[in-house]
């Protein structure tokens, strides 16, 4: 390990005293959950899973994950209800979430805790829902990750955290903790992982054995050693895949501590942001709408879907969208689209069928005859018929004001958009709420370069 890595490990490795404190916390929670199980006369057992159970957790970044395991004959609704009820009795500031069945998260003595119901299985083929194999993941890592390689897992997790690629949740679309662990089982060390990543191409496929496995249409595939029909890397977006490879290359070239602990963004003044935007030959159009009261796992996919839908529709209408971004505050969603300053031409040419297809040509001419939008009669050119049509919208802001309610953008966002949304031009996007967003967007620096 180089000097930087040793420094990082000193910061992120839990001390013996810290570990004892966590062990005490885990035993307390186990006892409380056990008492709740007995009180309800449930045929269930408790298992600690995740990074604490595998001893691959980062200091001061702790999630305590308990699974309550039920016999496979037990009704799915009952296991969900039981877990929620137990969680409500033990935790504070609880939040109930729903995957294939409900689970609950909250706090116990300022520590984040998750209580998840599952079925007790011995192998992945017996699973009745995706979460059932999580205890098998814990068992696999404990049996296959050597003690000497655990520091390499910690370095990998902190590196990914520092560059913004750690976490398989919808908000991040990055590398899960379990993926970090099996990557180190595969490559041995943090540095070896980065060196191998330099050769990854989109569609890269990794496995821990040489058997034949199914294919997945994702940037990276890592076949789950516990369930060979599953891709552990399925959450990783193309953006995060490319970014990890770029960061790996730059770190190996110059191993700075800021890859692990980047400096916080120092937001520019609104005046500096305005001056910077004025030098660009672009226009920015924003859409502001109220943030729906849903969990991040549901919110982020809908916001991304909404942005894609808006881009696709705008491009079909001939508007140029160079890129799009979004920012989610406590109360609102801002979707921001980079486009041209110039309006579209007043008319556009719509091409029809080849002249030799007489029936289609006749239908085309009939369709456009007398249409008030036609500015130039249908004409023939190079064996095809054309017609020149007046555009309904010349500017993106006017088009979106009309079009956005007709788009499919996700169940919750569709409802909000039908009630109210606001189109914002560049000057209206220069607000205190968006200072950090604009600073990151405009300065072009990588997290480790700040």
What global pTM score does this model have? Answer: 0.90
Per CATH, the number for 270-343+394-449 is: 3.30.70.590
pLDDT tens track for 93-120:
998 887 667 899 999 988 999 999 999 9
Confidence of residue 137 (pLDDT cuts 50, 70, 90): very high
pLDDT tens track for 232-241:
999 999 999 9
Q: Is 59 exposed, middle or buried (0-12, 13-18, 19+ CB in 10 A)?
A: middle
Residues with Cβ within 8 Å of 310's Cβ and at least 6 positions away in sequence, in order, are 287, 324, 335, 337, 400, 404, 407, 409
Nearest 5°: phi and psi at 144?
-120, -10
Q: Are the CB atoms for 326 and 303 separated by under 8 Å?
A: yes
From residue 111, how far is each of 66, 96, 416 by CA, in Å? 13, 17, 34
Q: Are the CB atoms for 114 and 65 separated by under 8 Å?
A: yes
Smallest Cα–Cα separation from 344: which of 363, 371, 317, 308? 317
The count of other CB atoms within 10 Å of the CB of residue 182 is 26
* Rounded-to-integer distance, Cα 99 and Cα 132, Å: 12
pLDDT tens track for 414-445:
999 999 999 999 999 999 999 999 999 999 89
Same fold: 270-343+394-449 with 347-390 = yes
Task: Quote the crossing angle between the two packed helices 16-39 and 76-90, to the nearest 10°.
Answer: 120
pLDDT tens track for 381-403:
889 999 999 999 999 999 999 99
* Rounded-to-integer distance, Cα 123 and Cα 254, Å: 44
Q: Are the CB atoms for 326 and 334 separated by under 8 Å?
A: yes
Roughly how many angstroms between the first and final C-alpha of the chain, as a whole number?
Answer: 24
Element (H, E) at 332: strand 332-340
∠ at Cα 435 (334, 412), nearest 5°?
15
Q: Are the CB atoms for 121 and 72 separated by under 8 Å?
A: yes
Calculate mean pLDDT across residues 286-305.
93
Is it the case that residue 183 has pLDDT exceeding 90?
yes
HEC string for 2-36: CHHHHHHHHHHCCCHHHHHHHHHHHHHHHHHHHHH
Q: Are the CB atoms for 446 and 304 separated by under 8 Å?
A: no
Q: What is the mean pLDDT of the chain?
A: 94
Res 212: pLDDT: 87
Is it the case that residue 155 has pLDDT exceeding 80?
yes
Res 129: pLDDT: 82
Q: 24 has which bridge partners?
A: none
Region class of 203: left (phi > 0), else alpha (psi between -120 and 50), else beta: left
∠ at Cα 257 (255, 258), nearest 5°?
105
Res 99: pLDDT: 65
Per CATH, the number for 347-390 is: 3.30.70.1550
The ranges assigned to domains in the chain are: 1-144, 145-262, 270-343+394-449, 347-390
Smallest Cα–Cα separation from 61: which of 72, 50, 71, 45? 50
* Rounded-to-integer distance, Cα 208 and Cα 225, Å: 7
DSSP for 93-119, written as a single string: EEEEEESSSEEEEEEETTEEEEEEEEE
Nearest 5°: phi and psi at 94?
-80, 155
The count of other CB atoms within 10 Å of the CB of residue 214 is 10
* Rounded-to-integer distance, Cα 236 and Cα 384, Å: 46
* Rounded-to-integer distance, Cα 230 and Cα 237, Å: 17
User: Is 145-262 in CATH node 1.10.1410.30?
Assistant: yes
Q: Are the CB atoms for 143 and 92 separated by under 8 Å?
A: no
Return the CATH fold of 1-144: Beta Polymerase; domain 2 (3.30.460)
Q: What percent of the chain has pLDDT over 70?
A: 100
Residues with Cβ within 8 Å of 27's Cβ and at least 6 positions away in sequence, in order, are none
Is it the case that residue 25 has pLDDT exceeding 90?
yes
């Amino acid at each position: 390990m180089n000097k930087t890595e040793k420094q990082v490990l000193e910061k992120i490795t839990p001390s013996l005293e810290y570990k004892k404190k966590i062990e005490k916390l885990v035993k307390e929670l186990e006892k409380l959950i056990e008492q709740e199980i007995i009180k309800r006369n449930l045929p269930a057992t408790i298992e600690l899973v995740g990074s604490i159970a595998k001893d691959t957790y980062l200091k001061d970044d702790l999630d305590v994950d308990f699974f309550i395991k039920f016999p496979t004959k037990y009704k799915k609704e009952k296991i969900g209800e039981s877990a929620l009820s137990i969680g409500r009795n033990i935790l504070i500031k609880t939040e109930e979430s729903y995957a294939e069945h409900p689970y609950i998260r909250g706090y116990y003595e300022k520590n984040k805790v998750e209580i998840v119901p599952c079925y007790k299985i011995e192998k992945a083929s017996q699973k009745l829902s995706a979460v059932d194999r999580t205890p098998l993941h814990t068992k696999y890592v404990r049996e296959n990750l050597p003690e000497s390689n655990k520091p390499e897992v910690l370095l990998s997790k902190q590196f990914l955290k520092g560059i913004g690629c750690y976490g398989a949740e919808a908000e991040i679309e990055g590398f899960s903790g379990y993926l970090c662990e099996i990557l180190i089982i595969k490559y041995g060390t943090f540095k070896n992982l980065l060196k191998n990543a330099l050769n990854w191409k989109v569609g890269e496929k990794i496995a821990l054995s040489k058997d034949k496995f199914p294919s997945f249409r994702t940037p990276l595939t890592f076949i789950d050693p516990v369930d060979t029909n599953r891709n552990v890397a399925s959450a990783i977006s193309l953006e995060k895949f490319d970014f990890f490879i770029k960061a790996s290359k730059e770190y190996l070239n110059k191993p700075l501590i800021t890859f692990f602990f980047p400096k916080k963004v120092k937001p520019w003044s609104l005046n500096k942001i305005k001056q910077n935007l004025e030098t660009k030959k672009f226009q920015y159009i924003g859409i502001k709408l109220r943030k729906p009261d849903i969990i991040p796992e549901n919110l982020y996919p809908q916001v991304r879907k909404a942005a894609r839908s808006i881009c696709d529709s705008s491009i079909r209408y001939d508007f140029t969208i160079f890129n799009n971004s979004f920012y989610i505050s406590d109360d609102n969603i801002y979707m921001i689209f980079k486009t041209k300053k110039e309006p579209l031409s007043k008319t556009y040419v719509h091409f029809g069928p080849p002249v030799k297809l007489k029936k289609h040509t006749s239908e085309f001419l009939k369709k456009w005859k007398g249409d008030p939008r036609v500015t130039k009669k249908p004409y023939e050119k190079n064996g095809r018929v054309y017609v020149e049509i007046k555009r309904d919208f010349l500017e993106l802001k006017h088009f979106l004001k009309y079009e956005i309610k007709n788009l499919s953008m996700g169940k919750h966002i569709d409802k909000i958009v039908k009630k109210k949304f606001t189109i914002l031009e560049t000057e209206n996007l220069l607000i205190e709420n968006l200072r950090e967003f604009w600073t990151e967007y405009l300065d072009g620096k990588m997290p480790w370069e700040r």
